[in-house]
């Protein structure tokens, strides 16, 4: 059975909901969930991406190009790649090799450049449900629909995050993270206690505003909780764990790219690295 939120109708099943009324601005709620990433996950993910990119790398580095479907690609290799892949493929071959062989210095560098925590032995990663609440003008939705530009549920989150809309008083109003335990949301008494003390950031409950209207937020929680009463309903929430992991890997890849680009630049400067000014 699809998730239903009281007073809202689904735009994309289990993911995007809108409040149907005569207001010129549409109230939107989006739902997703994720499992937190650890530093070790980021290292493994970057290694996985390098393995996938191997056929496109130089013949010297390619990990048995024939085994991956042919010889290494010649010429420009970044066309069509995502941001992470583009940064990784431009790293020096030695760095790529060190990443795959889990060179201690490189692994520590990756771990130190991402915002996630290290794993704790015997402790499973936490899971979270996230909902976004905000306003999108009806005219904006209508115009984009007429242009055939709304083809994915992600459009609504992108619209809520759109800076010009936010500057005009629309867009994202609240982003709330709630910890999931055994496919169940935190009990409301715990949330009421945290909100009564103006808590905005904890493992159990996190909201994107230092100051928020507790009454407004409580009303939104009523709506979300009504739609996610059972573990079966919770399991239907769209999982974005891979997107979260990708986002965690980006700063690490960017730091590696910047570091080794700087080193390569220094290597070409007469006197660099030999104590001369």
Per-residue pLDDT tens digits for 167-225: 999 999 999 999 999 999 999 999 999 999 999 999 999 999 989 999 999 999 999 99
Q: What is the pLDDT of residue 58?
A: 55
CB 83 within 8 A of CB 76: no
Give dist(CA 138, CA 150) in Å, integer: 13
Cα 6 to chain centroid, rounded: 28
Percentages (nearest 5) of helix, strand, coil residues in the chain:
45, 15, 40
Give dist(CA 183, CA 206) in Å, integer: 18
What does the block give as tokens for 48? 């996985």
Give dist(CA 99, CA 45) in Å, integer: 11
State whether the Cα torsion 212-200-181-242 is positive or negative.
positive
Mean pLDDT of the chain: 87
Q: What is the pLDDT of residue 120?
A: 83
Confidence (pTM): 0.82
Positions of the chain with pLDDT under 70: 57-80, 262-277
What's the Rg (C-alpha) of the chain? 23
């Amino acid at each position: 059975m699809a998730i239903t939120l009281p007073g809202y109708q689904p735009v994309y099943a289990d993911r995007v909901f809108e409040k149907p009324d005569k207001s010129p601005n549409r109230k939107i709620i989006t739902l997703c969930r994720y499992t937190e990433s650890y530093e070790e996950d980021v290292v493994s993910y970057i290694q996985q991406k390098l393995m996938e990119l191997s056929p496109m790398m130089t013949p010297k580095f390619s990990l048995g190009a024939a085994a991956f479907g042919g010889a290494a690609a010649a010429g420009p290799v970044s066309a069509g790649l995502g941001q992470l892949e583009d940064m990784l493929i431009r790293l020096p071959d030695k760095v790529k090799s060190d990443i795959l062989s889990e060179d201690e210095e490189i692994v520590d560098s990756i771990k130190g450049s991402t915002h996630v925590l290290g794993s704790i032995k015997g402790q499973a990663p936490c899971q979270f449900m996230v909902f976004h609440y905000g306003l999108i003008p009806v005219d904006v939705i209508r115009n984009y629909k007429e242009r055939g530009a709304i083809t994915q549920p992600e459009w609504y989150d992108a619209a809520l995050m759109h800076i010009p809309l936010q500057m005009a008083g629309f867009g994202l109003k609240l982003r709330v993270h709630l910890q999931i335990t055994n496919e169940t949301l935190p009990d409301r008494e715990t949330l009421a206690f945290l909100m009564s003390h103006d808590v905005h950031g904890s493992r159990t409950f996190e909201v994107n505003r230092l100051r928020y209207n507790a009454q407004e937020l409580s009303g939104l929680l009523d709506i979300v909780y009504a739609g996610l009463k059972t573990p079966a309903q919770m399991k239907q929430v769209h999982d974005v764990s891979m997107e979260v992991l990708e986002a965690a890997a980006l700063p690490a890849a960017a730091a590696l790219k910047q570091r080794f680009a700087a080193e390569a630049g220094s290597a070409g400067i007469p006197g660099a690295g030999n104590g001369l000014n």
